[in-house]
Amino acid sequence: MKLDDLEYDLVLARNVDAKQILGMLRRTFFLDEPLIQALGLAGKQNIELEKFCMDCVDEDLSYVALPKCGVAPLSVCLNGTFMAKDIGHLEKLACHCLCKKTQRLLRFWAYLDRESELWNQYGVSRIFEIRILATDQRYRGRGLATSLVAKSLSLAKELGFPLVRMDCTSYYSSLAAKRLGMEMAYSLKYSDYLTNNGRPIIDTAPPHNSAAIYVHNIGRSASQP
């Protein structure tokens, strides 16, 4: 594939040095993801958060856009499997976190899991989850992330997943999901995510005003003529 004068391939993450992927996340996702910024985690090395984000690479479902002449990723799409029995897993992880801010982040993601009720909405027990989408600042807006998501959707279909889920906590990731024809299954304004005393827990900067879960219903698509 080619991007202006730069040739690149979309490869499985297992074929890429994990240190290069982590370095990419430190330069992008851990700096400018809206929730990470709002919780004061941006730019700070966080071993617990990094481990959580990198664990899914071992599932062999993730893709990286890699230049033909280089080792530093241009864009990454980290994916994993989410089973019905995993409900509550993030809450358990949060309870064991030493960092209070990481606890809040994991509990927010756990809240999305519970409230979206994808299992009941779509009648599935196994979901292909697009967890992290990040692109080097120099190459944003050129379709790299969209290509990686499209590749991931194809893999999910090939492996027989009935549903693909993409959590969009950024305004821009929501746009990418819409461009790919994914449908919104759940949405939550950050201003509506409150403590027991009615105080906002997360205060994100605009245009990142809400989190949304987008899905691609592979089972329904396959049954349509």
Q: Which pLDDT tens digit goes with each residue over 52-69?
A: 999 999 999 999 999 998
Instruction: Please give the CATH architecture assigned to the domain spanning 2-165.
Output: 3-Layer(aba) Sandwich (3.40)
Q: Which pLDDT tens digit goes with each residue over 134-170?
A: 999 999 988 899 999 999 999 999 999 999 999 999 9
Query: Please, which pLDDT band fits residue 221 given cuts at 50, 70 and 90?
Result: low
Q: Which pLDDT tens digit goes with each residue over 82-93?
A: 998 898 999 999
pLDDT at 16 over 60: yes
Q: What is the mean pLDDT of residues 34-45?
A: 95
**pTM for this model (two decimals):** 0.93
Type of residue at 114: R
Residues in contact with 138: Cβ distance below 8 Å, sequence separation at least 6, in sequence order: none
H helix intervals, 96-217: 100-116, 118-122, 144-158, 171-179
Cβ pair 16, 63 in contact under 8 A:
no
Instruction: Give the closest residue to 60 by CA, choosing from 183, 140, 149, 159.
Output: 159
Q: How far apart, in whole angstroms, are the C-alpha atoms of residue 40 and residue 54?
A: 20
pLDDT at 95 over 60: yes
Angle between helices 47-54 and 100-116 (to 10 degrees): 30
